[in-house]
Structure 1
Amino acid sequence: MSAFLPLLDSSGVELLDALNRLGPIIIRPDQSALLPTPHHPIFLLDQHPRVSSAEIIDWLDAGAEKVIIPLSLASSVTNVVPAERLILLLDVGSVSAVSDRIRNGVSGVVLKTATVDTDLISSISTFFSETPIYLLCDSSTPASVQEIRAVTRVGATLIIPSSDLTLQPTSKTQLNVADAVLAIVTSDRPDNLFPTVVSDQTGKTMGLVYSSVESVRESIITGVGFYHSRKHGLWRKGETSGAIQDVISIRLDCDSDCLEYRVVQHGVGFCHLNRPSCFGPINGLTALEHTLKSRLDSAPAGSYTKRLFDEPELLRSKIMEEADELCRATEPEDVAFEAADLIYFALTKCVAAGVSIADIENSLDKKAKKISRRPGNAKPQWSKLSSAPSKDEVSFGNGPIRMRTFDLSSVTPNQRAELLRRPVLKSEEMINKVKPIVNQVRNNGDKALLELTAKFDKAQLTSTVVFPPFPPETMQIHTDVRKAIDIAYANIRKFHEAQMDRTTLVVETMPGVVCSRFARPIARVGLYVPGGTAILPSTALMLGVPAQVAGCKEIVLATPPQADGSISPEVMYVARLVGATAILKAGGAQAIAALAYGTETVPKVDKIFGPGNQWVTAAKMLVQNDTDALVSIDMPAGPSEVLVIADSTANPAFVAADLLSQAEHGVDSQVVLVAVDLTAEHLASIEKELDQQANALDRVDIVRESIAKSIIVKVSSIQEAIAFSNDYAPEHLILQIENARDKIELIQNAGSVFVGPYTPESCGDYASGTNHTLPTNGYARQFSGVNTQAYQKHITSQEITASGLEGLGPTVATLADCEGLQAHANAVRIRLNVSN
């Protein structure tokens, strides 16, 4: 039960943090970026009368608790969106217009009134039966404790604008949040204390304490567990022991005579006996989580749990082994036994990654609230149609490294569509994860960058940016590497200079009317060069050279620092070559945020280029949709991918090498071989080469995993192969086929094409001259790879003579009159009158 619901109309950070601990906040959709995270707001659509039911479902899927809709939307939304997720917004005079269908299609009513009228609320409550009523008063005076109690007594809830609330003592203009929360709380104790149940994040009871008005106020304001000791008064939990609590939520029970605090407990535990709970030992999953967390910190060397934490491949193998055992189990006791084993290993992975049971439960809750659902079909590697590798091959690194094979002539249309799918990229989920990081950098600038770099990159820095001239000692590289970079730079520059748009397009569309278009460089660009599992001076070249050629005035290169705080000398050398005006020593979402918003030392940019992991991609998508950032991005990105079309002329060793050169990028790389009428012997030769070459690589563990998820598609003709490739729209397309050059005209969708047996993808990645920053995940259907014109913008102009206006003006005035834009027409007619 809630004493009130807050409506966001101001955005003080401390107040919002406090309100976030008390339950949902009502917001308008364009305010969602202001909220603390995680949060599940209630969207108010009083200013969005034309929103579609699809948009409402998207908001609810993204985490909104409910949506408040005006009566004008109700007929099109109810029975499409579940009633429990909708609240109806009504003026007093509109109550009689509500049909039974609409009344049954919502789970609450927000009543807009001028004053608190309890008789009116009672009569409307009768009309809406047991539907909750919320009161939104359009009053110039702030809400009071007395009004909260009066509205609650008639079974309704008062909505209070956040501007009427404060963390300071209640005044004539604002109501203290704690006073509002406790307005309806009653106590049957002579000391007026409130029984308070303290639970952990998952709802496990830790103990019973007592709260006072003062302690509740302190907990709301600080987010720290404060209670009231019957002996010593105000009591900050853990002040002496260090076992403090972060308060996640404060709730009232159904009778408003008891509180529940959900907390994150630090230190030895809640109980004075150094246990998590005052009610005895914990058990089940919570006990296992506590044990694994303690073992993560202090497991003895050589212990099995220590091995699991230190050997990711062993842990991965055990998870897959136990999942297989669970799938095979049939008897109830066997299912329980194998499920327990799987949960143990899965929770070990979670603890190693810093994921708690509460995080898992939050994810489950979010999924349960989703309205739109995917079909839920198995991915190709796990579906019945796949010839999946055996458990031994995938889990334990034994057996040959091989792809899965499909014959396009024997698959159904649905199965063909599955072959074209990439792994689902959970963009919405990732954006929610990066939003706190982006907001932290946006609000705290360099301080946040330094903290996040220490946290994620394990590098302790004193400054975030390096400006030229760059110290020579930071660019000391081997002579052979320097020569290779210089050659690559020259080739890439030559090709990208040829792409430069230097001419002005001039067209006289009719006599006296001249239209022009000319190019200008984007002034400030940010180039993201990933760190991760490899040093990538090639990416710095691919992003920096076209920026330099286009004439961008500021080139800010961002890349994660090494553990000692330095940038790899190869990347530093390239930064000098391409004329970088600053180097940001940061990676991930925090680097993207710094480029988008700027900090005290990091220059803000106008466009961000460069590949990255899911965190980087999500951050780029987030900032490009924020009008405050005023930044664009090059393209959406996903895992690297290659599609090779091979016919009987293809050299098996070449084909295998091309597939592996992409598979080694990461475990999520996508590798596809389209085999054109190949014999079983020829296909076997390719698979044999693939296995032999893979096992000779240092990154064989990565390859083993990515290849296991990759596919061979057998087709009967070149036309069928290219049709499949065009549907797949690969990042890299390699043509190892007869007369490959003649087939280029058939290619409709691809990031870059590699033609003939002696054109490996590696050359395009490094030094042939084309750019290797390319659209992935099927975006080659609508995006180009990075090129010089991506760093330019085009401006149009027009010049009209007096006689030209005489010819064009009447047309313009007629169209303006048609659209009802009188001033537009007048701007033409006033000139025509002068000239006449």
Structure 2
Amino acid sequence: MSIFLPLLDSQDSELVQVLARIGPIVVSPSQFADLPHNRYYITLENSPDATLDHILSWLNDGVEKVIVPLTLAKELIGAGIPSERLCLLLDVGNVSAVSDTVRNGVSGVFLKTPAIDIDLISSVSKFFANSAIHVFPATTSPPTIFTIRRLLAIGANPALPTSQLTFSATSTDCINVADAFLAPIVSDRPDGLFPTVVSTETGHSLGLVYSSIESVRESIITGKGVYQSRKHGLWRKGETSGATQEVVSIQLDCDSDSLEFRVKQHGAGFCHLNRQSCFGEISGLPALESTLRSRLASAPTGSYTRRLFDDSSLLQSKIMEEADELCRAVEKKDVAFEAADLLYFALAKCVQAGIGIAEIEQSLDAKAKRVTRRPGNAKPQWLKRPDTKSSTPTSPHQVFSTSQKSDTRIRMRTSDLTGLTPAERTQLLKRPVLKSDEMINKVKPIVDDVRTRGDAALLELTAKFDKAKLTSTVIFPPFAPETMQIDPAVRAAIDQAYSNIHKFHAAQVDQDTLVVETMPGVVCSRFARPIGRVGLYIPGGTAILPSTALMLGIPAQVAGCKEIVLSTPPRADGSISPEVMYVAHRVGASAILKAGGAQAVAAMAYGTATVPKVDKIFGPGNQWVTAAKMLVQNDTDALVSIDMPAGPSEVLVIADHTANPSFVAADLLSQAEHGVDSQVVLVAVSLTLEKLAEIEREVDVQAHALSRVEIVRESILKSVIVKASSTEEAIAFSNDYAPEHLILHLKDAQEHLASIENAGSVFVGQYTPESCGDYASGTNHTLPTNGYARQFSGVSTSSFQKHITSQQISLEGLKQLGPVVATLADCEGLDAHANAVRIRLRAIQSSIDT
């Protein structure tokens, strides 16, 4: 993994050599021509005259990526340059100008920023979810180790000018190369050491050792294999045995808790038993290369191998002979046999020329990096039909794109409930871990800022995160008609949805007072009252959500809440989408807060000079919103509650032999498109392989027709088909999973509803898509996720009401109940409680006596 990206701004050849061991280097086109190391990114920041031909030439020569400005990125994407070879050069202020085409057409972003703002960089990282973020702050001193770790934690890393790197101790002006590389490394061992896999240049394992920060630092600087012996301290490999190592590369694994050293091993080998590998004798091509090198050095005169090395004509003839025999082979065993012979003589030719497998693989890697392709025709002397017309390129640059790969099928993974161990079943039920504590720590400064500075903080944070510069934060009714101008068809759809949702939620209103006489003269009652002030969070971002405004606004309106504050992120021009404005008008919103994220939650929780404080906050949102809601509900100064915990959207579909594959696939995809972290589960009840294959084909075909296909591709990768042997087994699994949405594609689906114990909302039968519940059937779509359907209900009218109890006790009632209460109070040692009863009983007795 890349820890930091060096930018070459000094001609220090020794530093370049060291940096080559730990990752790619950013260079200018003029620097690239004079450098031997081939792991480079070329930046075109100061090369405005670079043409497509120049760029293709660099990429064909092995440059890993080109870093280009926004205008050139559009041209290169249009020319078909693969995204994995393109990195976008971007000023932090221009992020909003990036189109989806460019965002999806690059694999990295080189972000120029005045300083390192973690929150801002984090938001950019989320926008470029599929790209590596390299941060280049315009500062004269490097970031600290702590800052590098914080960047890595949000999926970004620093781009450091080589003038800010040093072999000496880290200072305010320069950071030690090894310190920067080792910034994220962690160990779970008591001795603090790091497991280290040592392998050859070609990735064949030599052994497992341990490293320390000190040993890794020395290896990076010296280029020699240096490790940490658990008994004897620093172990400089070969210092006594002569079996030294030249370090080719050092890299951390994905968890930053172990390392891989790729080395050139000299001498007898890595193992103390004088073998190349600690895992036994080597085999295959590495063993053949070792044998041929040994024979090149010592084969006796007259031996066959010596003849091959000494007689180039004989070696050439054997290569041609074996190639011909391979071409003629038909049976599998014959193809393998002849290919082995050809590889033997081809590798003998390479060893004769001083070339090994590592150089061959480097050449293969270089060929793989080419972005232009020749037509691919054989030379005339090798064509069996010389009259065959050769194809011609369709353009001067036949650019290869990974999008042309045939294996682009979108598929779910499969598991079978039969035979699962309890641990495996538990694992299957798990959702992704939500790191609540980490997110709460991140949002706390935002919440505290709004709490302390009110509207001023809110305006600044809205400009920072929502990219909208506002002069005021709140809109109050009456709302201007021009802000609610929407398509008539959309208006009609909203009105019909409003009618259905209102009808269902109005039927839920608890208007009757419950009155129960628990014993003669003791009357208890319970009655509902609306929550006075509620805040409704309506997400923005990639989609406008008037449906969520309906789902939250209507029950608040029906319940009779006096103040309904609706909050939603503004658009770039500071306005709110007219669809949401229209819904706000229909549900009787008393204020609209133009803000999103944690800052909006904080404003509603604490109130500001313009934003009304609320008593309860509702609504879905990203992890920032969720964390802020959890934070404020636990602050006694806020005195605010929330609707429920939240997580990614999810659906579980149970399907038997009666299910329509296209319907099932559509239902799965309707949730998969919400976001890359959406959870999608299909429980297949005794479905045949053919039926499952038909569903999977439908998922693939329908997904590729969607505008959000890339989001679907990511979420489907994490989704699963669970095979069940019966409907009862399927429902039992669903009850354990407790899905947000449960869809029953079952014969006589209604009959199975009584068995459902845990679900946010159930969709019964093949003609009840989840989409109807999301928009307009009448039920609410704000539902418990992440398994919380075991203990939470979805939002309803009662969510916006609270219940008050009362009791009235007559004189006769107290005479009967009083002694019971006094006895219990005495039992608990609460004299005052008992006295409150006894003083009345004595008064009653006294009046009777007189």
* Band of TM-score, shorter chain: 0.5 to 0.7
In structure 2, give the amino acid aligned to 1:766. Y
1:541-574 alpha-carbon deviations (Å, 9 max, x no partner): 0000000000000000000001111100000000
Look up the match of 1:361. Answer: 149
- Give the secondary structure class of the aligned counterpart of 1:642: strand
Of 640, 649, 663 in structure 2, the residue corresponding to residue 640 of structure 1 is: 649
Contact 2:644 2:792 in 1 (8 A): yes
Cα pair distance change 1:415/1:394, threshold 3 Å: farther
Inter-partner Cα distance in structure 2 for 1:352 and 1:677: 56
TM-score under structure 1 normalisation?
0.58
In structure 1, give the amino acid aligned to 2:465. F
TM-score under structure 2 normalisation?
0.57
Inter-partner Cα distance in structure 1 for 2:425 and 2:628: 32
Of 477, 483, 505 in structure 2, the residue corresponding to residue 474 of structure 1 is: 483
Inter-partner Cα distance in structure 1 for 2:107 and 2:715: 14
Q: Which moved more, 1:657-666 or 1:293-302?
A: 293-302
Look up the match of 1:711. Answer: 720
Inter-partner Cα distance in structure 2 for 1:684 and 1:642: 20
Matches within 5 A, 1:190-589: 304-306=66-68, 307-309=86-88, 311-313=102-104, 348-349=132-133, 351=135, 358-362=146-150, 398-589=407-598
Of 725, 748, 751 in structure 2, the residue corresponding to residue 739 of structure 1 is: 748
Cα pair distance change 1:288/1:821, threshold 3 Å: farther
| Runs of 4+ displaced beyond 6 Å | 279-283, 285-303, 352-357, 364-371, 392-397
Matches within 5 A, 1:655-666: 655-666=664-675
Alignment partner of 1:753 is 2:762: yes
Inter-partner Cα distance in structure 2 for 1:316 and 1:411: 39
Inter-partner Cα distance in structure 2 for 1:353 and 1:395: 37
Alpha-carbon deviation of 1:399?
A: 2.0
Alpha-carbon deviation of 1:408?
A: 1.2
Contact 1:662 1:669 in 2 (8 A): yes
| Root mean square deviation, CA, Å | 3.7
Cα pair distance change 1:820/1:316, threshold 3 Å: farther
Alignment partner of 1:619 is 2:628: yes
1:634-666 alpha-carbon deviations (Å, 9 max, x no partner): 000000000000000000000000001111111
Inter-partner Cα distance in structure 2 for 1:396 and 1:613: 34
Inter-partner Cα distance in structure 1 for 2:489 and 2:524: 51
Alpha-carbon deviation of 1:418?
A: 1.3
Q: Which moved more, 1:652-661 or 1:395-404?
A: 395-404
Inter-partner Cα distance in structure 1 for 2:26 and 2:529: 58
Contact 1:641 1:731 in 2 (8 A): yes
Look up the match of 1:730. Answer: 739
Structure 2 gaps of 5+ residues are: 29-39, 56-64, 69-85, 89-97, 110-128, 154-182, 191-253, 256-400, 846-850
Contact 1:666 1:702 in 2 (8 A): yes
Alignment partner of 1:684 is 2:472: no
- Give the secondary structure class of the aligned counterpart of 1:811: helix
Alpha-carbon deviation of 1:294?
A: 12
Cα pair distance change 1:489/1:604, threshold 3 Å: same
Of 782, 787, 790 in structure 1, the residue corresponding to residue 796 of structure 2 is: 787
Of 674, 681, 684 in structure 2, the residue corresponding to residue 672 of structure 1 is: 681
Alpha-carbon deviation of 1:434?
A: 0.6
Cα pair distance change 1:549/1:347, threshold 3 Å: closer
In structure 1, give the amino acid aligned to 2:628. A
1:452-507 alpha-carbon deviations (Å, 9 max, x no partner): 11111111111100000000000000000000000000000000000100011111
Cα pair distance change 1:369/1:474, threshold 3 Å: farther
Look up the match of 1:831. Answer: 840
Structure 1 gaps of 5+ residues are: 1-201, 204-267, 269-273, 319-344, 372-377, 380-391
Alpha-carbon deviation of 1:295?
A: 6.5
- Give the secondary structure class of the aligned counterpart of 1:527: strand
Cα pair distance change 1:518/1:650, threshold 3 Å: same
1:385-411 alpha-carbon deviations (Å, 9 max, x no partner): xxxxxxx99998942111011111133
Inter-partner Cα distance in structure 2 for 1:607 and 1:298: 54
1:513-559 alpha-carbon deviations (Å, 9 max, x no partner): 11111100000000000002111000000000000000000000000
- Give the secondary structure class of the aligned counterpart of 1:425: coil
In structure 2, give the amino acid aligned to 1:803. E
Contact 1:496 1:787 in 2 (8 A): yes
Q: Sequence identity, in percent?
A: 69
Alpha-carbon deviation of 1:358?
A: 3.5
Inter-partner Cα distance in structure 1 for 2:403 and 2:415: 19
Inter-partner Cα distance in structure 2 for 1:366 and 1:574: 51
Inter-partner Cα distance in structure 2 for 1:798 and 1:613: 44
Cα pair distance change 1:823/1:478, threshold 3 Å: same
Larger Rg: 2
Of 802, 816, 819 in structure 1, the residue corresponding to residue 811 of structure 2 is: 802
Inter-partner Cα distance in structure 2 for 1:738 and 1:811: 57
Contact 1:529 1:559 in 2 (8 A): yes
Look up the match of 1:610. Answer: 619
In structure 1, give the amino acid aligned to 2:133. K
Contact 2:458 2:473 in 1 (8 A): yes
Of 647, 660, 663 in structure 2, the residue corresponding to residue 651 of structure 1 is: 660
Inter-partner Cα distance in structure 2 for 1:352 and 1:435: 27
